[in-house]
Amino acid sequence: MVNKIGDLPGYGTVWFYEDGIANILSLNNVKKKNWVTYDSTAYDCFEVHKVDSTKCVFKPSKKGLFYSSVNNDIALVTTVENNTNKYTVREYSYAKKARELQNIIGRPSTQDLINYVDKNLIPNCPVTRQDILRAEDIFMPKIGSVKGKTTHTTQKHVEVHLQDIPQEIMEKYGEITLAIDIMFINKIPFVMMTSHNIHFGTAELVKDIKNNTLVSSIEQVIQAYKTCGFKIKAILADGQFKHIQQIIEQ
């Protein structure tokens, strides 16, 4: 799959595959843009005459393929098609609305736009913070929002909010199955828990493996999932947790 395009000096926009041995130009397309000459007797090469009066020469390799070594720096961008495929038609449509809104109100930064939406500072706003984040993912950062506004700042601790979890994940994995076990490291007990499908894992150092200690540790993890909107459907454990099964089920 090729998902990058670049600007080839003297020619224009081309598809680019960075892991390939070569990137191919169509002779039929090149001759539409530039004058191409070929003399099989004198030079045995294709010469592409560029508008700046320079030439790009394609010589034959040992196996007969005509090639030209390009040492110019090429500006690359990732196309949005690959990112678009991750979202539904409705999600893509609202992502476009979010980007249009960002342009209309003066191209604020993505974080500022999210703050405006979260605080209801935009009357009759048609988009949500998730729409804004999808727009950022699909269309990349808005250059006009970055220029002159980007400064080095100390990063704040990341806080997870319920609305940060995509709706499609909640719909598909809203009911959680947990697996639990106790791991000992240098005879020190840790309560290990992980969830199926979303594979979120937790590890807690506990002072002992008494009933109250284990119950408290498990309930903390369960509460963390509930806070984010998940529902615990089942907990998988071995026999060492059997004596607290009834307490957890309550």
Total domain count, the chain: 3
- Mean pLDDT, all residues of the chain: 79
Which of 55, 77, 99 marks a domain boundary? Answer: 77
Domain shared by 118 and 52, yes or no: no
Query: Would residue 38 count as lying in a domain?
Result: yes
Helix, strand, or coil here: 46?
strand
Measured in whole angstroms, how far is the alpha carbon of residue 201 from the centre of its chain?
Answer: 21
The DSSP 8-state label assigned to residue 155 in this structure reads: P
Residue 200 in this model has a pLDDT that exceeds 70: yes
Domain shared by 121 and 60, yes or no: no
Domain shared by 98 and 122, yes or no: yes
What's the pLDDT tens digit per position in 150-180?
A: 555 555 554 545 455 667 777 777 888 889 9
Query: Would residue 159 count as lying in a domain?
Result: no
More confident position, 107 or 127: 127
Give me the domain span that covers residue 111.
81-146
pLDDT at 151: 56
Which of 114, 146, 178 marks a domain boundary? Answer: 146
Domain shared by 140 and 90, yes or no: yes
What's the pLDDT tens digit per position in 25-67?
A: 888 888 888 889 988 876 788 888 887 778 888 888 888 888 8
Residue 71 in this model has a pLDDT that exceeds 70: no
Domain shared by 73 and 86, yes or no: no
Give dist(CA 222, CA 85) in Å, integer: 33
Query: Would residue 153 count as lying in a domain?
Result: no
Domain shared by 73 and 94, yes or no: no
pLDDT at 128: 92
In terms of Cα–Cα distance, which of 128, 135, 130, 133 is closest to 84? 135
Domain shared by 23 and 50, yes or no: yes
